[in-house]
Structure 1
Amino acid sequence: MASHIGKLPVTIPAGVEVKIDGQSFTAKGAKGTDSYEIPEGITAVVEGNEVVLTPADDLRPTRAKHGLARSIVAGMVKGVHEGYAKTLEIVGTGYRAQMKGKGIEFSLGYSHTITVEPPAGIEFELPNPNQVIVKGIDKQAVGQCAANIRKLRAPEPYKGKGIKYADEHILRKAGKAGK
């Protein structure tokens, strides 16, 4: 019984160059270069314009790593070709962001401003003061950076004020009942 995800081939789009050297996998595309160390027990082979990952045995840990490795390789190929982006919205009166060099300075209702510098391989974009776009080629790094920014002022359930993902729905609570 093989991994359902792992047995799917990863299609290599035009403009992406893939190199496999032993357990080292490297993808190079228009957006940049990314590399990954494929776990032991998994072998990757380029067949035409596809990367096929095969497990060495049918043991449970190998099957788990098979699906994981395939997902990471697919994410890398997409990342170097198209890139990843997460959009965050800032909701609340007086809450805003502005570019400060390569970083962003947030005014989030605290007594001080918060400056966030982008990690390596990540860039920020501010279409307007209430919207932040986190871009990069590494899916995990983009998601983690966006989560760190959201954590600065997570949305609260009463008015929905805070930093939220653009596609996130905040469950609202009723306020005090009153008399």
Structure 2
Amino acid sequence: MADIIVPDTVARDFLATFERARTRLFDRLEGLTDDEYLWEPASDCVSIRLGNDGTFRVTSLFPESSPEVPDPITTIAWRVWHIGALCLRGYVMHFFEDVPEFGDRHEWPGTAKEGVQALAEHWDHFHSRIAALSAERLLAPIGRGPGGWVDETYLKLALKALVEVTHHGGEIGLLRDLYSRQGV
């Protein structure tokens, strides 16, 4: 197989798109209150909750669903955790060698300010790892990681992160809109 030559614009263009998604998400998180962050618009919400030990933890990694039972609604706190800890932090932990010391992935801040800050830190960790890759490395197999990712590319991983951010970021925006219109 011939070597694939990829111009540096691949990494540049991806990172510019990723930055646009980040800007939109963090603009939507601006001014988030603790009440909004933990708001449960339905009785079966999945969220983060305070445990007996005084630590907030996610109540469910992946909400269960079936044809008979619809997906439960998740709170803004859960979605911020999902993007930050499960996706971005998880990708750094599983697919890069220079992993910072992370705590328990199930623990997450119980306040909006701390949750958004934790998300920003995980964003920066992931972004810096992708930004350090050459365009050629973006298209080469990762060579490590769980679940069949060994033969996938860092570009595919980065695009998966972008999908998660835009998907859950849109849901966060909708939940904020619904919260602000309660009783209207």
Using CA pairs under 8 Å that are at least 6 residues apart, name the structure with larger relative contact order, 1 or 2: 2
Q: Normalization by structure 1: what TM-score?
A: 0.24
Name the larger-Rg structure: 1
Of Structure 1 and Structure 2, the greater strand share is in 1
Q: Normalization by structure 2: what TM-score?
A: 0.24
